[in-house]
Amino acid sequence: MKFNQKSTIVGLILLIVFFIQFFLKLEWTWLSNLQKEEMYKRWSGLALAVFITFQWMLTLSRVIKKYRQHAQTITLLHKWAGALSPLFFYVHSIGMGYGYLALLSYMFFANALLGYFNLDVIKSTSEGLFKVWMIAHVAFSIIITIVMFFHITMVFYYK
């Protein structure tokens, strides 16, 4: 197995475990209680927001010329951070939320799943498939980031 596929396997396992606990309503009481506390929600939300923002470093490393030399390293970090994304999400929230939070959650996990099946994993040399995959992954990322900032605004506006 190639190194780049290990992050996909780890990510899929964490994603499956998240959905198993979600659908079977399995939870750690201590974590559930923590997630009800305002300060915990804010700090874990900050950690999740930093994680999402960090994922944009890959784009910066590809578009800003002086950072291109680091693109390969950042790609590896991007894949592993994406693999661990269900864990980051779980620490912030055991559930998926309602309304726009459900949309944010579903898109977050759909984008993670899309990332797990990147072109290194599916072994495609098709330029058309690459373009569709990249457009979908970046479009989801943009929407997630916008809804994340909306969520942060709503949290601080209504509290």
Contact by Cβ (8 Å): 2, 71 = no
C-alpha span between 129 and 147 (Å, rounded): 27
Query: Which residues of the chain have a pLDDT value below 70?
Result: 1-4, 159
- Residues 67-113 pLDDT 10s: 888 888 998 999 999 999 999 999 999 999 999 999 999 999 999 99
Q: What pLDDT does residue 4 have?
A: 52
Nearest-angstrom CA–CA distance, 105 and 109? 6
Contact criterion met (CB below 8 Å) for 78 and 128: no
Helices (H), 64-126: 71-83, 85-92, 100-116, 119-122
Going by C-alpha positions, the residue among 55, 49, 41 that lies closest to residue 148 is 49
> If we measure between CA atoms, which residue out of 148, 81, 137, 79 comes closest to residue 110?
137
